[in-house]
Structure 1
């Protein structure tokens, strides 16, 4: 932390009678770049609102069992007494919504929608965060190497990016998720499906961030501080990890926050198509797929759809605000 500066200056004649504050030193506290960025971010009310929603969703996902125990029912338990046996729709005018079932119950089986939406947040956020982490790690490493090394290394990595960008990810995800057996690589059940989705979404999305990091690295490697490090005899690993990566943290963080909602939508799309996490494990996309058959019961689709909408919107608002805070010249 920067030491405070005393800018009081010398005492002038006649200062003695000017009061106790006259001549007192005024300490100016230096601020780091992260503190300056945080101060800018706090002034953006829209971004802070997005951040508050993101934190709330993360807490809901982490403490899902406690929340369900307090306000809901087990997500896999059936309450068929809440469903009309003739029409297979929830009893009551509002789809079974009450103080006992906050979001009502599902048609036919009578499962608690509130509990399934809460548990669905765990699956969606877990897959989105892990897939984003995988994309960021692979994209950052290959982007820095391509931009800093140049030459044939840059050519090979850049052509690999073009191949992955032209690859039909959705078609491949549907095909791969459909042929993977129930047990593979020592994994089974939901663990296998989550790992598979993380691999598909994360591994095939790395070129997007790699192109951004490569472009930033091409610009940074010509800067004076890199030339100074070379002149002092610094090796390539030192320059990459100590000089380049700290200056790349801003675009990495910005793109990661904008990539998370994209991954949430991709996971929801796969679950909607029936190749994501398999039922009866609750997922937002899977709940929307089940709700298609019951278009006369709107609350069945409204709550998981609203959860996806708010999550994606919150991450996008926070990502935009973070970009403005870290790079105000790009506004």
Structure 2
């Protein structure tokens, strides 16, 4: 049995530095909410993998834009007729697996022989650009409308909520096909590609804001009854101060999470419009446009495989990262 510690006059009068000898002298530091969320996110290996894929896709899209439009070294529209079998009558690529070779790793298109890797690489920036811009537009409109409806209530909430119902019931795909189909090739001196990118961004972003607007409205209804809002009111704070200093900082997390989940939806919608022939005009490469062209050659599945796989990987990466970000910012969602 260990004998009891004998407290002598020297030990009783010893300063705290002596009695705490051997213990770490590093002060305990608190962690902010962002630091705690980052620690949770780092532990989610799947979300981190999705984030790395997203970063790689963004860098590839920027590189494709610069190499294709500035230096013109990709050549997504270059024809390779010498690699097409014209004797068999099918106009299929020579060789196996769609003409895959060291020069053309993913093969070439039937009939014209355009390189599939170059077209997927060159078309990445258009799909991602439209998805990002449309998401920003949806988030801005949805956040403003949702905060106004949830905070002010009354007739303002009624008007905005009924507007959301109208937009949600609107046949967006049919309207987009009709509107994009009648757009002229040039507007105010802008080229056809710029006009189509702007129109697709507006249609996808403007008509999708009710989804995030409803989420922001519900969060605002919950936050406006919290104690910190009542405390701000008791101190004489007015509406603008409460909105920008109390409510919006607490809405950043759900808005950010939903934005990461909205981007893949917009990518799929842009691809669907391009697949239906009302997206970016040919011969500009887009993933949806490549799928539309591949649908005519159903006997050559490789032609449809690569653009479909590019869309699948992009959407999956954003969804995995969005799920991990949601769990990191809101651990109660686990």
The answer for the alignment partner of 1:150 in structure 2 is 153
The answer for the alignment partner of 1:79 in structure 2 is 80
Could you tell me how far 1:297 is from its partner in structure 2? 2.0
Supply the distance in 2 between the matched residues of 1:19 and 1:229 (Cα, whole angstroms). 46
Could you tell me how far 1:201 is from its partner in structure 2? 0.2
Choose from 90, 93, 114 the match for 1:111.
114
Q: Residue 51 of structure 2 contacts residue 317 of structure 2 at CA under 8 Å; is this kept in 1?
A: yes
Give the alignment's Cα RMSD to 1 decimal.
2.2
Choose from 311, 329, 332 the match for 1:329.
332
Supply the distance in 2 between the matched residues of 1:27 and 1:35 (Cα, whole angstroms). 17
| Residues 24 and 123 of structure 1: CA distance in aligned 2, closer, same or farther (over 3 Å) | closer
State the Cα deviation string for residues 205-224 of structure 1 (Å, max 9, x = none): 00000000000000101111
State the Cα deviation string for residues 48-86 of structure 1 (Å, max 9, x = none): 11111111111110111567799x841011111111123
| Residues 198 and 66 of structure 1: CA distance in aligned 2, closer, same or farther (over 3 Å) | closer
Which deviates further from its counterpart, 262-271 or 84-93?
A: 84-93
Could you tell me how far 1:102 is from its partner in structure 2? 1.6
- 4+ aligned runs moved over 3 Å, structure 1: 11-21, 65-70
Could you tell me how far 1:26 is from its partner in structure 2? 3.3
Instruction: State how 1:1-331 maps to structure 2 within 5 Å.
Output: 22-64=22-64, 73-86=74-87, 87-331=90-334
Alignment TM-score, normalising by the size of structure 1: 0.92
Aligned residue for 1:280, secondary structure, equals coil
Aligned residue for 1:183, secondary structure, equals coil
Q: Residue 67 of structure 2 contacts residue 74 of structure 2 at CA under 8 Å; is this kept in 1?
A: no
| Residues 51 and 238 of structure 1: CA distance in aligned 2, closer, same or farther (over 3 Å) | same
Bigger radius of gyration: 2
Alignment TM-score, normalising by the size of structure 2: 0.91
Q: How many residues align?
A: 320
Supply the distance in 2 between the matched residues of 1:16 and 1:200 (Cα, whole angstroms). 68
Unaligned runs of 5+ in 1: 1-10
Q: Residue 65 of structure 2 contacts residue 125 of structure 2 at CA under 8 Å; is this kept in 1?
A: no
